[in-house]
Amino acid sequence: MATESLFTLSGISLIGFALLGYAFGCIPCSYLASKMMGHIDIRNYGSGNTGATNVYRVLGKKAGIVAFIGDFLKGLVPALIGNALAGQEAAAVASLFAVIGHCYPATLKFKGGKGVATSAGMIFGTAPLIGIILITLQFTILFISRYMSLASIISAVLFPILVYFTEPSPVYQIASLLMGILVVFRHHSNIRKLLKGEESKMTSKKKKP
């Protein structure tokens, strides 16, 4: 079965699932949420990041939740499509490229978010049990520390480790490792701030900037 799955993901099929995922990832959900709900370009506010966390910080909970749901679905839908058409490995490839598309979207001149919400969609679409474990851990760390970046980085590091011990597919293991590395890399500025004690804690503004 593993051999057949790897074969179906070769050549044109592999490229097709990757392009499908990247296309979903390029949908600028957080950018659109800030435009529609706050009438602003989120790239000019807060951290300048086009992700759900920055929308939450700048425009508040309602806009942040809408942005999160949109970014989450960008990872979930490609995973469900890939899984329905060719199994977990296709789902992993499609949703990995959705995360890449979110971080480097052609629609926003390749300047996107940090991939956390989209990665969560990918995880729940491919390995729901791991998703439950990680989101529980992430919210626990966030509740204790108030640092979303720290919670996201720890979850990104643990994801490929959990996959290695629970999922036998080498394709999925590689995809999870690449996703984890990408999310950690996108948080490089947060890591520097955490080490210096300068990172901002998770708060939101109630009023439009």
Say if pTM beats, i.e. exceeds, 0.75: yes
14-67 pLDDT per residue, tens: 888 999 999 999 999 999 999 999 999 999 998 888 989 899 989 999 999 999
pLDDT in tens, 26-36: 999 999 999 99
Could you give the CA distance from residue 68 to residue 13 in angstroms, rounded to a whole number? 30
Ranges of each domain in the chain: 2-196
Who's near 188: CB < 8 A, 6+ residues apart?
none
Alpha-carbon distance of 92 to 51, in angstroms, equals: 21
